[in-house]
Amino acid sequence: MSTGNPAAVEKLSRREYVLAQRELRRKKMFALALVVPLLLFLFFAFVAPIGTMLYRGVYNPVVAELIPDTLQALEQWEGQTLPDDAVLNRLALDLKRLAQTRKSGKLAEEINRHWPGASSVIKSTARRMKRQTDEALLNGGADMIRVANKKWQRVEIWRAIKKAGQVYTDGYYLTALDLERNADGDIQQRESAQIYIKLYQKTLWMALVITFSCLLLGYPLAYYLANAPSKTANLMMILVLLPFWTSLLVRTTAWIALLQTNGVVNSTLMALKIINQPIEMLYTEFSTIIAMTHILLPFMVLPLFSVMKGIDPSLMRAAQSMGAKPISAFISVYLPNTLPGLSAGALLVFIISVGYYITPALVGGTDGQMISNIIAFHMQQSNNWGLAATLGSLLLVLILALYWIYDHFIGASNIKLG
Amino acid sequence: MNTPGTFNDASDHYLQFKAVQKSYDQVTLVVKDFNLDVSQGEFLTLLGPSGSGKTTVLMMMAGFESVTSGDILLDKHPITRTAPYRRNIGMVFQNYALFPHMSIAENLAYPLKVRKKPKAEIESQVARFLALIELEAFGNRTPGQLSGGQRQRVALARALIFNPSLVLMDEPLGALDKKLREQMQLEILRLHKKLGFTVIYVTHDQTEALTMSDRIAVFNDGVVQQCASPDVLYEQPSNAFVADFIGENNFLPGVVEHVSDDIADIKVSTGEVIRATRVDCGDSGSDKVTVAIRPEKLFILPTDHEYDSAITVKLTDRLYVGDFLRYFFELPDGTEIVVKYLNDHAAPRIAVGDEVQLVFRARDSFAFSPM
């Protein structure tokens, strides 16, 4: 009791205080017990994996663990001339050990990422070193290596080894941003293929188109639902929610059946003699956009509907009675009041579609691929988890940045999800 | 006495309804043959039970409902087919309909902005109306930060600020509590007196209608039953519905015995013959009638008040209300009669079960054809 007449404030006795504390503690424990499952789930399924991903983007101990001695010897090397024989001897020993433990392939793969062509050099050299004794290698390993493959005479392969050997690296980030380091160690645009930036741009562009299409289809629908008699509205709501009750795979596959060369759309158009040849619709950007618009539409309709439901229908009448034409009344009165739902829906659809994987993978072909498909490729096929982690981290940063921009200009407190 | 449907009083025909009808379902009429003349500056109330068609009439006036047949004229110009935004009619809604995303000042400025008035004029008008509703300090708040009464005042000012030809109010005080409602009634009357606008006011609260209006149009079943000033409506109802709807009334069933001029002799269920003012009942013998007498116009014998009819009744209950007393009587056929007495020394002291005679004047009792 902090307010009121101070004379009336009675202090709790020691025993009362303990009891009150115990009661408070019990309440807190109960509240905690209710949220603990969620927190645990969040930690193990969300915070921990994202943390690991962020770490993996810069931490790459593989090469350092494979050839520790060589890398130690290379530490003093400036990178302008060929390293001296001591380094080569060390490498010969490391390669022999790798060949015996069948790990030379792993090293070859890692180095090859930094200098294409290094794979065969390393593998063949390692095979030769396997037969030599340690003693011979320690003294004459350098010559043996030079004999094994001429490419050891080139400084690039050594630079690649040194670069790959860094435990903490910005290499993945540079790759993901289509950059590289030149011989002097300066950052420059990668001379070979520029893939990732373009892919990010395309992903953002497609997410934007999908968001816009959802808005275009969802806004009038939500408006109708919010103003229809409840019986009709309920029925229509079931139709809107129906996709949620069907497997995502089924819905995406349905689009394959519709859009393929001899699919429903093409055969109908041809039967109606509108086209003579089937249009290639499947495995394009178009098919990804149309299928994802369909799948993400409820995420737009639901927040819009809930906001529109709360808008007093007499607002539009009031605006018109004051002399505003219907369109101007809509723009100046109705639209601003739907903004919370509109921004929530748009943000939801945009963020989901930026990271969407399954639909572009199934109907997108090469043309309709998005960034998540490349991430999956690096995880499953090229086995480059570091790069996959980096691409994922950049995606996360991108979304956070967009959210920040949104919050800055429109205000996140405006969002109303339900 | 007015006949339902036609009112040819001394009106300047500012707002006219000519045989207006409305049907929503193409089967039944919600508003049947609605005729009305409203003078400029008049405060006219549409009063009626819910579903009587009064709100429909208002919506047709505002242009939000189409007119099935007939014409609406405003200042001699037909507006029947005019779009709502071209009618220049201000409207106050029951739930205020203030724009929640705009400040109070922006709300008030909206109709002026739509009319593309110069900025300086908008500012001075907004300031003037904020002062008028005594909310000068609230211009920058949003509607959500205001109380119900304050919101209603803003809604009122917003409907007036663009100098509309007519102001419509659709149960504007329905959402307020009793005390606030009475305050706002005075507030609206004050503004009406000061600015002299024409008001069409819709309500189902008869006290509100009686206190505020110059004239009241009583609606029932899509038809205007009577349109007159509050005192005429109360003291000379033109049919049994109005007599019942406005204020409290006792209804005695009876049969016409004899009619002379505007006085009817009616035999009631006690066998007594009473005299009542004839309004719309039949004039031949044995026509069924219902006689309406207000509780405050009935007196218990002995009394100093003059009277020309009497009926014998039995007291069934007495209710103490404080400033007045209510006596409940019963006729032999079960008809109940209420009598209202001021709680003073003249209040009679009678016990439940006593038989007494109730007396009244013919000019205070009205013979209607039954509803």
Range of the domain at B305: 248-361
Same domain, B46 and B112: yes
Best residue of A321, A328, A410 to probe chain B, by most B CBs closer than 10 Å: A321
Q: Could you give the CA distance from residue B46 to residue B67 in angstroms, rounded to a whole number? A: 18
Q: Pick from A315, A326, A339: which is nearest to B97 by CB?
A: A315
Quick one: pLDDT band at residue B1, thresholds 50, 70, 90? very low
One-character DSSP codes across A124-181: HHHHHHHTS-HHHHHHHHHHHHHHH-GGGGSHHHHHHHHHHT-SB-SHHHHHHTTEEE
Residue B3 confidence (pLDDT) above 60: no
Residue B228 lies in a domain: yes
- Report B:306-335 residues touching A (Cβ under 8 A): none
Q: Please list, in sequence order, all residues whose beta carbon lies within 8 angstroms of the beta carbon of residue B219, skipping any fewer than 6 positions away.
A: B46, B47, B48, B49, B52, B53, B54, B57, B225
Q: Please list, in sequence order, all residues whose beta carbon lies within 8 angstroms of the beta carbon of residue A302, skipping any fewer than 6 positions away.
A: A240, A345, A418
Chain A residues inside the 8 Å CB shell of B91: 317-318, 321
Same domain, B66 and B194: yes
Best residue of A317, A322, A335, A414 to probe chain B, by most B CBs closer than 10 Å: A322
Quick one: pLDDT band at residue B7, thresholds 50, 70, 90? very low
Q: Could you give the CA distance from residue A292 to residue A351 in angstroms, rounded to a whole number? A: 12
| B74 contacts B12 by C-beta, under 8 angstroms | no
Mean pLDDT score across all residues of chain B = 87
Q: Pick from B91, B100, B115: which is nearest to A321 by CB?
A: B91
B304, burial (CB in 10 Å: exposed 0-12, middle 13-18, buried 19+): exposed
- Report B:117-146 residues touching A (Cβ under 8 A): none
The residue from B241, B264, B290 where one domain ends is: B241
Residue B5 lies in a domain: no
One-character DSSP codes across B98-127: --TTS-HHHHHHHHHHHTT--HHHHHHHHH
CATH code: domain of residue B346? 2.40.50.100
Q: Cβ B110–A324 below 8 Å, yes or no?
A: yes
Can you give the pLDDT at residue A1? 42
Give chain B's domain count: 2
Same domain, B281 and B232: no
Same domain, B297 and B333: yes
Q: Pick from B63, B93, B115: which is nearest to A318 by CB?
A: B93
Q: Cβ A319–B110 below 8 Å, yes or no?
A: yes
| Per-residue pLDDT tens digits of chain A, which is 418 residues long | 444 455 556 788 889 999 999 999 999 999 999 999 999 999 999 999 999 988 988 898 888 888 888 888 888 888 788 888 888 888 888 888 888 888 888 889 888 888 888 889 888 888 888 888 888 888 888 888 888 888 888 888 888 888 888 888 888 888 888 888 777 778 888 877 788 999 999 999 999 999 999 999 999 999 999 999 989 999 998 988 887 888 888 888 899 999 988 888 989 999 998 888 888 888 988 999 999 999 999 999 999 999 999 999 899 999 999 999 999 999 999 999 998 889 889 988 999 999 899 899 989 888 888 899 999 999 898 888 888 999 999 999 988 998 888 888 777 676 666 5
- Secondary structure of A185-237 as H, E, C letters: CCEEECCCCCCHHHHHHHHHHHHHHHHHHHHHHHHHHHHHHHHCCHHHHHHHH
Q: Please list, in sequence order, all residues whose beta carbon lies within 8 angstroms of the beta carbon of residue B14, skipping any fewer than 6 positions away.
A: B38, B39, B40, B42, B74, B75, B198
Chain B: residue nearest A333 by CA? Answer: B99
Chain A residues contacting B via beta carbons under 8 Å? 312, 314-315, 317-326, 328-329, 332-333, 336-337, 339
Q: Cβ B91–A325 below 8 Å, yes or no?
A: no
Which structure tokens are listed for A391? 């691409």
Residue B117 confidence (pLDDT) above 90: yes
Can you give the pLDDT at residue A346? 92
Q: Is B199 on the interface with A (CB under 8 A)?
A: no
The residue from B194, B222, B241 where one domain ends is: B241
CATH superfamily of A196-414: MetI-like (1.10.3720.10)
Average pLDDT score over residue span B318-336: 87
Residue B5 confidence (pLDDT) above 50: no
Q: Cβ B84–A317 below 8 Å, yes or no?
A: yes
Sheet of B324-330: strand order equals B299-300, B355-360, B309-320, B324-330, B336-342
Same domain, B103 and B47: yes
Average pLDDT score over residue span B211-234: 90
Which structure tokens are listed for B235? 């003291």
Same domain, B197 and B295: no
Best residue of B74, B92, B93 to probe chain A, by most A CBs closer than 10 Å: B93
Same domain, B269 and B330: yes
Same domain, B83 and B126: yes
Same domain, B172 and B81: yes
Residue B164 lies in a domain: yes
> Residue B69's beta-bridge partner residues?
B21
A57 to each of A181, A194, A386, how far by Cα in Å? 17, 20, 5
Same domain, B254 and B230: no
Q: Is B97 on the interface with A (CB under 8 A)?
A: yes
Q: Cβ B111–A318 below 8 Å, yes or no?
A: no
One-character DSSP codes across A256-323: HHHHSTTSHHHHHHHHTTS-SS----TTSHHHHHHHHHHHHHHHHHHHHHHHHHTS-THHHHHHHHTT
Same domain, B285 and B237: no
| B129 contacts B104 by C-beta, under 8 angstroms | no
Residue range A56-81, pLDDT digits in tens: 888 988 888 888 888 888 888 887 88
Same domain, B233 and B332: no
ipTM, interface predicted TM-score of the complex: 0.81
Chain B: residue nearest A340 by CA? Answer: B101
Residue B368 lies in a domain: no
Amino acid at A365: G
Chain A: residue nearest B62 by CA? Answer: A321
CATH code: domain of residue B69? 3.40.50.300
Can you give the pLDDT at residue B11? 65
Q: Cβ A322–B158 below 8 Å, yes or no?
A: yes
Can you give the pLDDT at residue B2? 39
Can you give the pLDDT at residue A3? 47
For the ranges A403-407, B307-311, B346-350, the lowest mean pLDDT is seen at: B346-350
Q: Cβ A325–B110 below 8 Å, yes or no?
A: no
What is the interface size between A and B, counted as CB pairs within 8 Å?
Answer: 62
Q: Cβ B97–A332 below 8 Å, yes or no?
A: no
